[in-house]
């Protein structure tokens, strides 16, 4: 006489009792959920920390770059408002403009102030040359005089005219990503119209470059 078949829902329990304690432990381990949250947190934590540090680094770099843009515009505005600028006045302008970077440090800041002279070659073709140029900061180099360049910014293409060109650069070292990116050079170039005059005359030469 054969035994009646067990319902499907009772089969696993019957098998566990028949297989002994080891099978019961394995079955309990398979259905256990203890520690799942800890494992998931351990997997997600590095990604979350990386995202947090990356967002902080990008925010800081954007703020420094914005400050550098403000510095460039301040330097352009201050140097373009007078008819004649002396050596000491340009030195003061360099010092005053660099304060714009605060609270960020300024080691390695390079600033170049140049007055450009624009000429019309023919039709819509213009060229420019450097009328005078002064630099401030370690590694900063003044533009060579009377060297013609064919690229004239839009809005400054007027025959026999002058405008100020400001070039600033600052080496930026990320706080957390230095090993990956190294030092990055942030740079800004700002063409600026001369205020209230046709040109700015440099009197006395350039101040010290440091």
pLDDT tens-digit series, residues 155-184: 999 999 999 999 999 998 887 766 677 788
Q: Are 131 and 199 in contact (CB under 8 A)?
A: yes
Structure tokens at 17: 């009792």
Residues 56/58/61/66 CA torsion (nearest 10 deg): -110
Residue that the structure tokens 């460039």 belong to? 72
DSSP string of 95-154, one letter each residue: HHHHGGGTTS--TT-EEEEEEEEEEEEETTEEEEEEEEEEEESTT--PPPTT--BS---T
Statement: the pTM of the whole predicted model exceeds 0.75 = no
Neighbours of 67 (CB within 10 A): 18
pLDDT number for residue 42 = 80
pLDDT number for residue 168 = 96
pLDDT number for residue 50 = 76
Structure tokens at 203: 């009197």
pLDDT tens-digit series, residues 50-109: 777 777 788 888 899 999 999 999 999 999 999 999 999 999 999 999 899 888 877 899
Structure tokens at 6: 């067990």
């Amino acid at each position: 006489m054969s035994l009646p078949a067990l319902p499907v829902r009772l089969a696993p329990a019957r098998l566990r009792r028949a297989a002994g304690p080891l099978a019961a432990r394995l079955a309990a381990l398979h259905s256990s959920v203890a520690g799942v949250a800890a494992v998931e947190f351990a997997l997600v934590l590095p990604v979350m920390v990386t995202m947090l540090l990356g967002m902080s680094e990008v925010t800081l770099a954007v703020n420094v770059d914005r400050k550098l843009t403000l510095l460039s515009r301040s330097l352009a505005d201050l140097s373009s408002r007078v008819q004649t600028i002396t050596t000491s006045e340009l030195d003061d302008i360099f010092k005053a403009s660099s304060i714009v970077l605060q609270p960020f440090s300024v080691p390695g800041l390079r600033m170049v102030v140049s007055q450009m002279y624009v000429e019309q070659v023919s039709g819509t073709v213009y060229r420019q040359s450097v009328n005078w140029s002064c630099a401030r900061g370690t590694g900063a180099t003044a533009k060579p005089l009377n060297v013609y360049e064919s690229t004239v910014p839009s809005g400054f293409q007027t025959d026999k005219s002058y405008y100020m060109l400001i070039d600033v650069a600052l080496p930026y070292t990320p706080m957390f990503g230095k090993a990956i990116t190294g030092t990055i050079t942030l740079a800004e170039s700002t063409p600026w119209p001369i205020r209230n005059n046709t040109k700015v005359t440099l009197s006395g030469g350039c101040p010290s470059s440091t």
